[in-house]
């Protein structure tokens, strides 16, 4: 009994302070954890800086607007000011664009300018002919055979002589190009033969009709049309005495048709063809034929026919363009 009483008297119950386990506020709970006491000061500072002023809240908007405390002097320009990137170059006024006109040339000087334009088109055939020859399969094969012979002579027989090989190879290529330039340059001679007499018919003594297209004051296109009388009309001197006579039953022959390089493929040539057809129908009758002359200004070929394939294709293309204009004119009459 005494032992059990002694044990009971020595056992004591330790009372725990549970108030620390149930903090009343968030800050108290955070402070209850020793590791988070440092963060409490940070959160308190953050909360104090996030307090919005009364003027920042507006009933007209759904989101708050944070007002800066200090306005920076280097801020962005207001949205109402135009951006320099948005500025565009001023558009060209319509009055500054030169007019495009199509007329029958009457003045002598205007016809001379048209004749020069036709002569220039003939001279320009030199560049195109040279380009066609440079890449012609037959001539390229001959050049490769020549270069192979140079290699066989200088590199093999002379025991790999690089200097001689390069010299002879370069000479072969230069000779190839110079020969092409020589044969193509004959178009310059053909262009020089286009004089004023070319515009005058030997049979009737009448000057050809010259149609010109102008872009402002610049002549950019020319078409030479010869109106021939019917086949049964008198010839020779009788024709010369009857200048300006009736051409009913005759036909129109286009002897030249050209446009400056930078104005090609823009419809200028088609407009001149339409004007040529209109003039022919008006002066020779509605059933008059219109076609290209067999010996037109650009028909002279300075090379053998074997090398003239590209030019024949251009002639066929021009013939198709004229046929299209004639078919459109016929359709308009039917309507």
pLDDT value of residue 238: 45
Q: Supply 39's token pair.
A: 């963060």
Do 300 and 256 belong to one domain?
Answer: yes
Which residue would you say has higher pLDDT here, 86 or 206?
206
| Domain end call among 190, 207, 230 | 190
Distance CA 274, CA 294 (A): 20
Q: How many CB atoms lie within 10 A of CB 269?
A: 19
Q: Is residue 69 a part of any domain in this protein?
A: no
Q: What is the mean pLDDT of residues 99-112?
A: 93
In a domain, 114, yes or no: yes
Digit-coded pLDDT (tens) for 18-65: 444 444 554 455 555 554 444 555 555 545 555 445 444 444 444 444
Q: Are residues 138 and 239 in the same domain?
A: no
pLDDT of residue 28: 54
Residues 162 and 270 in one domain: no
Same-domain pairing of 222 and 150: no
Between β-strands 100-104 and 209-215, what pairing exists: parallel, antiparallel or unpaired? antiparallel
- The DSSP 8-state label assigned to residue 24 in this structure reads S
Strand partners, 218: 215
pLDDT digits (tens, 9 = 90+) for 174-186: 999 999 999 999 9
Handedness of CA 310, 312, 318, 324 (dihedral sign): negative
Question: What does the block give as tokens for 321?
Answer: 């363009």
166 falls within a domain: yes
- CA dist 323 and 326 (Å) reads 5
Bridge pairing between strands 289-292 and 251-259: parallel
Do residue 203 and residue 320 come from a single domain? yes
| pLDDT band of 317, cuts 50, 70, 90 | very high
What Cα–Cα distance (Å) separates residue 126 from each residue in 129, 189, 194, 302, 307?
5, 10, 16, 10, 13
Residue 268 above 90 pLDDT?
Answer: yes
* 217/263 same-domain check: yes
Answer whether residue 7 shows pLDDT above 60.
Answer: no
Give the pLDDT score at 57: 44
The arithmetic mean of pLDDT across residues 66-71, rounded, is 44
CATH of the domain at 259: 3.40.630.30
**Of the listed ranges 71-75, 119-123, 214-218, the one predicted with least confidence:** 71-75
Sheet strand arrangement including 209-215: 100-104, 209-215, 218-228, 251-259, 289-292
The answer to whether residue 51 is domain-embedded is no
Average pLDDT over every residue of 300-312:
90
Closest CA to 222 of 255, 246, 190, 257: 257
Quote the DSSP letter at residue 188.
H
Number of independent structural domains in the chain: 2
The residues, ordered by sequence, that sit 6+ positions from 312 with a Cβ below 8 Å of its Cβ are: none
Strand, coil or helix: 290:
strand
Q: Is residue 31 part of a domain?
A: no
Task: Say whether pLDDT at 211 is over 60.
Answer: yes
Please state the pTM of the whole predicted model: 0.66
Residues 6+ apart with CB under 8 A from 255: 208, 224, 225, 226, 293, 296, 297
9 pLDDT higher than 50: no
217 and 292 assigned to the same domain: yes
Answer yes or no: do 116 and 254 share one domain. Answer: yes
- Looking at 155, 190, 225, the residue that finishes a domain is 190
The residue among 134, 168, 190 that closes a domain is 190
Kindly state whether residues 107 and 235 are assigned to the same domain.
yes
Answer for the pair 322, 291: CB distance below 8 angstroms, yes or no: yes
Q: How many residues can be counted in the chain? A: 335
pLDDT at 331: 80
What average pLDDT score do residues 278-288 get? 92
65 assigned to some structural domain: no
Question: What is the pLDDT at residue 59?
Answer: 45
Inside any domain, residue 35:
no
> Which structural domain range is residue 224 located in?
100-121+197-334
Check whether residue 278 and residue 298 sit in a common domain.
yes
- Per-residue confidence band for 205, with pLDDT thresholds at 50, 70 and 90: confident
Q: Is the domain of 240 the same as that of 136?
A: no
């Amino acid at each position: 009994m005494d032992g059990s009483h002694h044990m009971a008297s020595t056992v004591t119950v330790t009372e725990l302070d549970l108030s620390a386990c149930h903090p009343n506020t968030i800050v108290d709970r955070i402070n209850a954890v020793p590791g988070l006491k440092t963060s409490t000061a940070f959160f308190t500072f953050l909360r104090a800086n996030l307090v919005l002023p009364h003027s920042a809240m507006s009933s007209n908007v759904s989101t708050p607007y944070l007002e800066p405390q200090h306005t920076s002097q280097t801020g962005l320009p207001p949205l109402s000011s135009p951006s320099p990137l948005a500025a565009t170059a001023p558009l060209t006024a319509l009055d500054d664009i030169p007019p495009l006109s199509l007329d029958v040339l009457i003045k002598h000087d205007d016809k001379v300018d048209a004749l020069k334009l036709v002569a220039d088109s003939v001279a320009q055939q030199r560049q195109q002919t040279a380009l066609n020859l440079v890449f012609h399969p037959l001539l390229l094969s001959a050049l490769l055979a020549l270069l192979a012979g140079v290699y066989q002579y200088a590199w093999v027989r002379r025991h790999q002589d690089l200097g001689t090989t390069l010299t002879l190879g370069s000479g072969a290529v230069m000779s190839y190009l110079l020969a092409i330039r020589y044969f193509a340059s004959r178009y310059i001679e053909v262009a020089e033969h286009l004089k004023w007499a070319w515009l005058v018919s030997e049979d009737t003594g009448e000057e050809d009709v010259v149609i010109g297209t102008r872009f402002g004051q610049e002549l950019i296109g020319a078409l030479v049309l010869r109106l021939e009388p019917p086949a049964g009309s008198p010839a020779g001197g009788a024709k010369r005495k009857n200048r300006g006579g009736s051409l009913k039953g005759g036909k129109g022959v286009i002897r030249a048709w050209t446009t400056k390089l930078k104005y090609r493929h823009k419809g200028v040539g088609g407009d001149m063809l339409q004007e040529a057809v209109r003039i022919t129908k008006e002066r020779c009758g509605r059933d008059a034929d219109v076609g290209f002359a067999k010996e037109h200004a650009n028909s002279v070929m300075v090379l053998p026919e074997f090398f003239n394939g590209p030019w024949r294709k251009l002639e066929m293309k021009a013939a198709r363009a004229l046929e299209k204009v004639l078919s459109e004119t016929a359709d308009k009459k039917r309507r």
